[in-house]
A and B are shown apart, each in its own frame.
Chain A
Amino acid sequence: MELLVSDLSVARGGVPVLEGLNFRLAAGHALILRGPNGIGKTTLLRTIAGLQPPLAGRISLDREAMTYAAHADGLKATLTVEENLAFWAAVFGTDEVGAALEGFALRDLRARLAGALSAGQKRRLGLARLLVTGRPVWVLDEPTVSLDVEAVAMFVRAVRAHLAGGGMALMATHIDLGLDEAAVLDVGPFRARATQEDHFDGVFL
């Protein structure tokens, strides 16, 4: 089980943003993507998650092994914390929500409506969703937004446990997680230059 990205170029709204990306992520390892806002980290993660086609290059990853968490948590405000998790557990064909509630200290909030949670609590619930999916590859976009120090530590613990279990994590983040064992990739140097003639609008040039 590994994630292999070779010579990948991605485009946002038809304009190429990153090109020539190569990296490899093996089981039990994490990779943190860094780079300034608007460089295309989200686009890259969405491409790896299979939501949009790559412009060029290859991504070798078993789609059935991957779960993706975006900026938005995808929570239903009118369902309780537990119901939200149970829904995703059912979608992914697992039934275990207890460990996820435990892992992000949501047990006391389990009967609360998701709409009544604070931003940080919502984020925790969004991250707890990763645990119920039972998928080995996590693709995370800014997982720590609106989390306090304690919750970030909770998240790091969850990631460590996940890696120890043979999982992988690929995430884009701006803050220092204290996840020292993770490799860091700065995507800045991969900013796309308009050199390719065969890209999206290239036929019009």
Chain B
Amino acid sequence: MNLNALWEYANPLKFMRTTERVLPYVAVAAVVCLVVGLVWGFFFTPDDYRQGSTVKIFYIHVPSAMMAINIWAMMLITSLVWIVRRHHVSALAARAAAPVGAVMTLIALATGAIWGQPMWGTWWAWDPRLTSFLILFLFYLGYIALWEAIENDDTAADLTAVLCLVGSVFALLSRYAVNFWNQGLHQGASLSLDKQENVADVFWYPALVSIAGFVLLFIALVIIRTNTEIRARRMRALLARERLG
């Protein structure tokens, strides 16, 4: 496939038409994956020999935490695309993704607290990972607030894109700084593609399915939200045209 063909989807209408067709499948797949992954994870996996049944919150905690970071990365990429190529869909997709990312971060923090309580005996500790997620959440809030505060859409897109870029650098810096500041009690990343020895297969497969579910859910939400934005913009453009007449 020609890479240039991809840019055709930068046209809002083309993007909307295509995604509307894909959306039902993505949404259904997301629901199926989430239901299968979570039910499988919750009811059909053995309890952990040390952590008991509390370990099962892992099927929400890990995917949401992964999404929280990856959504920011996706926003960074779309912001760069906006700055370099000025495709409106790109900026709107970043805008659409931000609240989803913020909610994912919140879910990761909340499930982490619920999991941490029986495990570490505390709801919250100023552990590097937890702290980093809290800071990430603040970045999401600032990003969303800036979008909301500016009336002109293109100005807002430009400013938030720069904020996303600068914020990414500072988020990485914060991550490093926080590690320096306090070595914590959080376990290392429990899932990665090549380090399967961390988790046994029985836990691994349902986790993969629920991660896929979270990813699909995110894609569906971003499509819906981006298309809503496109429609709103389209309406304003039509109104402006009518006024000019």
A residues near B (Cβ < 8 Å) are 13-16, 192-194, 200-205
Q: What's the nearest-Cβ distance from chain A to residue B142, in Å? A: 24
Q: What's the nearest-Cβ distance from chain B to residue A15, in Å? A: 5
Measured between beta carbons, the chain A residues less than 8 angstroms from B13 are 203-204
Measured between beta carbons, the chain A residues less than 8 angstroms from B154 are 14, 200
| CA of A137 to CA of B209, assembled, Å | 67
Contact A202 to B245, CB < 8 A, known contacts A13-B152, A14-B152, A14-B154? no
Stretch of B20-28, B36-44, B72-80, B230-238 on the interface side: B230-238
Q: What's the nearest-Cβ distance from chain A to residue B143, in Å? A: 21
Contact A204 to B245, CB < 8 A, known contacts A13-B152, A15-B240, A194-B240? no
Q: What's the nearest-Cβ distance from chain B to residue A193, in Å? A: 6
| CA of A201 to CA of B237, assembled, Å | 5
A204 engages B233 (CB within 8 Å): yes
Q: Name, among A192, A194, A200, A202, the residue most crowded by chain B CB atoms within 10 Å (CB to CB).
A: A194
B241 within 8 A of A: yes
Contact A205 to B241, CB < 8 A, known contacts A14-B153, A14-B154? yes
Question: 3 smallest A-B Cβ distances: which pairs?
Answer: A201-B237, A194-B241, A204-B234
Contact A204 to B240, CB < 8 A, known contacts A13-B152, A14-B154, A193-B245? no
B11 within 8 A of A: yes
Question: How extensive is the interface on chain B, given as a class?
Answer: 10 to 19
Q: A203-B13, A203-B88 given. 9 additional CB < 8 A pairs?
A: A13-B151, A14-B153, A14-B154, A194-B241, A201-B233, A203-B11, A204-B12, A204-B13, A204-B234
Using CB atoms, name the residue of chain B closest to A11. B154
Q: What's the nearest-Cβ distance from chain A to residue B155, in Å? A: 9
B236 engages A201 (CB within 8 Å): yes
| CA of A205 to CA of B238, assembled, Å | 7
Q: What's the nearest-Cβ distance from chain A to residue B211, in Å? A: 35
Contact A204 to B152, CB < 8 A, known contacts A193-B245, A194-B245? no
| CA of A98 to CA of B233, assembled, Å | 53
Using CB atoms, name the residue of chain B closest to A15. B240
- Quick one: which of B198-245 are within 8 Å of A by CB? 230, 233-234, 236-238, 240-241, 244-245
Measured between beta carbons, the chain A residues less than 8 angstroms from B11 are 203
A194 engages B236 (CB within 8 Å): no
Q: What's the nearest-Cβ distance from chain A to residue B106, in Å? A: 32
| CA of A203 to CA of B9, assembled, Å | 12
Cβ-neighbour of B12 out of A15, A200, A203 (below 8 A): A203
